[in-house]
Copies of this chain bind each other. A is one copy, B any other.
Amino acid sequence: MWTYRAPLRDMQFVIFELLPVAADWSRTGAFAQLDAGTVMEILHGAARFASERLLPLNASGDAQGCHFEAGSVRTPAGFAAAYREFCEAGWPALACDPEAGGQGLPQLVNAALYEMLNAANHAWTMYPGLAHGAYECLRAFASEPLKREYLGRIVDGTWLATMCLTEPQAGSDLSKVATRAEAQHDGSYLITGSKIFISGGEQDLTPNIVHMLLARLPDSPPGTRGLSLFLVPKLECAAGGFRRNAVYCDAIEKKLGIRGSATCLMRFEGARGWLIGEPHRGLAAMFVMMNAARLHVGLQGLGHGEAAFQNALRYALERVQGARPIAEHAAVRRTLLTLRAFTEGQRALAYWCAHLLDVAQAHPDAGERARAADLAALLTPVVKSFLTENGYGCASAALQVWGGYGYLREYGIEQCLRDSRIALIYEGTNEIQSLDLLTRKVLGEGGNARLDALLQLLLAEASAAKDVGLVPFAETLATLLAQLRQATRALRTDASEDPELPQRVAGDYTRLLGLLMLGGLWARAARLAARHDRTDPFYRSKADTAQFYFDYLLPEASWRLRLIESGRRPLPHLSAPAAGRGRR
């Protein structure tokens, strides 16, 4: 039986001991009154919802999938009812501004909520998953009349939102977006074009669906600088009620996983839409939504890793082979520790990123806000790609613990593997995240200072570890950080002569940075654990897992440094196989 129990004790540890957030919150107006008891009560409620309402729909939703008929989508049994409960409990409003009808809690709490939702039922969570990003985007860029009409209904969950970027001919290359927008006399626009891979483009959870869509105005310059952002509702407000807009779902995709989530092919046939933000500045506005989405995709990887770990641990403790539970076997133990070390470390990293967004939003000091925003910008592509790669890797490693049973549908881990795979692809493939990280965030404008801010924090962690006697951790971390600095300097220098170099090694660089951040966070966890007696199983596990991370997982960093060095070698080009009997 696949189960899920939210790791509330670890969430509490990360939020209130490891990061810890209290000092930052106390400086803000918005969160100054928030205490740990309140936050943990909220997370307990979320844990109950995830385990009791969403988990039971996870396997059945996968088995049933979505059904498409005559333009309509039927989601799996129970999805709509669970969504109603989700709204009635106020979860969509959790981290929205009280002025807009929200509960005004930090992004960090919303991140913990979404970790649990994703861990329990990734496919279901796809539906509300983009609402918060749409809320932030509308709040920042929409006109007052649009805000009045849409914002409240998105905050309370009455309507759901989508992101309409990708087109058949475009893929990851948004400069090829061809959907057109024509201005009308009443200030609206008529939108014409096709969009693919639209999660929740059509569904039966909400009466209306708010599409956030990139399109091109007639006078637009070519490329991504010519894109404008539009709000295109399924139902538009009209005199005396709502009118069906010319937005059509033509098909839904058959997929490897997240089968309960409707991935739609959408057609806009002169559908009425409204401009969000400035003409030709749509991508900048959409990035607000995309950055929120990228953190949330990272939380999917985290959720899958956690679910895989919990279930594999339980199975390994129950399953006896050769007179011992298989959890005792060395190979299985190493797998389980890998899952624990990555998952708990990644929780700290993801929550840190979410907390930085809160500081960037709510800190009274403008300099602190800017610093936090800049660090969050550096962390986001790592959180998206490192956590999803490891989430999928953990699911596959966990599957192996079940042996042959892992390959069967009834044990649940094969669904976890299938569902987790999408997160490496959407919201910008992991390859694109890595390019963003290395070529833009690190080697691009302001990159030196941005990276340095991170490295200073990690070095301070190494130094603090040394002070409490964790000398090997401190030395390993300091050495690797110096090597990272050196490697970055070399990349910066050599890229001027060999502009492709960063592209060849961006994936290694991303993993390297992810591994070092987890190294810093595990060093900190070990330092906190050292204050506690080893008879306390929670802190003993933290100390042991930190040691395991430094022994067995962090060595990957040296390999990645080596590969970054190898990347100076040009990569040969590949051509089509020759005709004839052989391949070449």
A residues apposed to B, CB below 8 Å: 5-10, 12, 44, 166, 171-173, 175-176, 196-197, 253-257, 310, 313-314, 316-317, 319, 321-322, 327-334, 336-337, 340, 392, 396, 399-400, 403-404, 406-410, 414, 417-418, 421-422, 424-426, 429-431, 434-435, 500, 503-504, 506-507, 537-538, 541, 544-545, 547-548, 551-552, 555-556, 558-559, 562-563, 566, 569, 571-578, 581-584
Query: Which B residues are in CB contact (< 8 Å) with A333?
Result: 571-574
Best-surrounded residue of A254, A319, A581 (most CB of chain B within 10 A): A581
Contact B256 A321 (CB under 8 A): no
CB-CB under 8 A for A544 and B558, given A173-B321, A583-B5: no
Q: Which of B8, B166, B414 contacts A582 (CB 8 A)?
A: B8
> Is B581 within 8 A of A44, CB to CB?
yes
A335 to chain B, nearest CB (A): 9
One of B176, B556, B562, B583 near A8 (C-beta < 8 A): B583
Contacts of A337 in B (CB 8 A): 571-572, 574
A7 to B, closest residue via Cβ: B583
Residue of B nearest to A336 (CB): B574
Given contacts A173-B321, A173-B322, A583-B9, contact A331 B507 (CB under 8 A): yes
CB–CB B403/A171 < 8 A: yes
With A and B bound together, what is the CA distance between A573 and B326 in angstroms? 11
Which chain B positions have C-beta within 8 A of A576?
313-314, 317
Determine the chain B residues whose CB is within 8 A of the CB of A551 once the complex forms: 566, 569
CB distance from A548 to the nearest CB of B (A): 7
Expressed in whole angstroms, the Cα–Cα distance for A574 and B399 within the complex equals 18
Q: Is the interface of A mostly helix, strand, loop or mixed?
A: helix
User: Are A555's CB and B563's CB within 8 A?
Assistant: yes
Cβ contacts under 8 Å, A9 to chain B: 581-584
Query: In the bound complex, do residue B559 and residue A408 qualify as a contact, i.e. CB atoms below 8 Å apart?
Result: no
Q: How far is the CB of A308 from chain B (nearest CB, A)?
A: 14
A254 touches which of B196, B409, B504 (Cβ 8 Å) = B409
Contact: B574 with A566, CB < 8 Å?
A: no
A312 to B337, CA, bound (A): 34
Q: Which residues of B contact A545 (CB under 8 A)?
A: 572
Choice from B404, B507, B547 contacting A569 with Cβ under 8 Å? B547
Closest 10 pairs between A and B when the two form their complex, measured CB to CB: A9-B582, A330-B503, A559-B559, A544-B572, A256-B414, A254-B409, A331-B431, A7-B583, A173-B321, A551-B569
The complex places the Cα of A322 from the Cα of B406 at a distance, in Å, of: 41
Contact present for B430 and A400 (CB under 8 Å): yes
- In the complex, chain B residues whose CB is within 8 Å of the CB of A171: 319, 321, 403-404
Assess the B552–A563 pair: CB atoms within 8 A.
yes
Whether B417 pairs with A404 at a CB distance below 8 angstroms is no
Q: Is the CB of A330 within 8 A of B571?
A: yes
Residue with the highest number of chain B CB atoms closer than 10 Å, among A10, A257, A407: A407
State A257–B403 Cα separation when bound (angstroms): 14
Report how far A8 CA is from B582 CA in the complex, Å: 5
- Determine the distance from Cα of A134 to Cα of B451 in the docked complex, in whole angstroms: 61
Inter-chain contacts of A574 with B (CB < 8 A): 313, 316-317, 327, 333, 336-337, 340
Q: Is the CB of A172 within 8 A of B429?
A: no
Bound: A552/B569 CA distance, A: 9
Whether the Cβ atoms of A566 and B555 lie closer than 8 Å is: yes
Q: How far is the CB of A570 from chain B (nearest CB, A)?
A: 10
Docked complex Cα distance between A141 and B545 (Å): 50
- The answer on a CB contact under 8 Å between A577 and B313 is yes
Residues of chain B with a CB closer than 8 A to A582's CB: 7-10, 12
Contact between chains at B571 and A562 (CB < 8 Å): no
With A331-B431, A569-B551, A574-B336 as known contacts, state yes or no: A425 contacts B409, CB within 8 Å: no
**Partner among B328, B421, B434 whose Cβ is within 8 Å of the Cβ of A407:** B421
A404 touches B425 (CB 8 A): yes
A283 vs chain B, min Cβ distance (A)? 15
What's the Cα separation between A569 and B330 when bound, in Å?
12
Tell me the smallest distance from the CB of A294 to a CB of chain B, in Å.
Answer: 16
Shortest CB distance A234–B (Å): 23
CA A421 to CA B434, docked complex, whole Å: 27
A166 to B405, CA, bound (A): 12
* B10, A583: Cβ atoms closer than 8 Å: yes
Of B404, B500, B583, the contact of A310 (CB 8 Å cutoff): B583
Residues of B within 8 A of A431 (CB): 331-332, 400
A331 touches B555 (CB 8 A): no
Contacts A321-B173, A574-B337, A583-B310; A403 near B417 (Cβ below 8 A): no
Residues of B within 8 A of A504 (CB): 330-331, 334
- Given A330-B503, A331-B434, A434-B331, decide whether A8 and B581 contact each other with a Cβ distance below 8 A: yes
- 5 A–B contacts, CB within 8 A, in A order: A407-B421, A537-B575, A545-B572, A548-B569, A556-B559
- A502–B575 CA distance with the chains assembled, in angstroms: 44
Shortest CB distance A387–B (Å)? 16
Distance A60 CA – B582 CA, assembled complex (angstroms): 27
Please name all residues of chain B whose beta carbon is closer than 8 Å to the beta carbon of A569 when the two chains form the complex.
547-548, 551-552
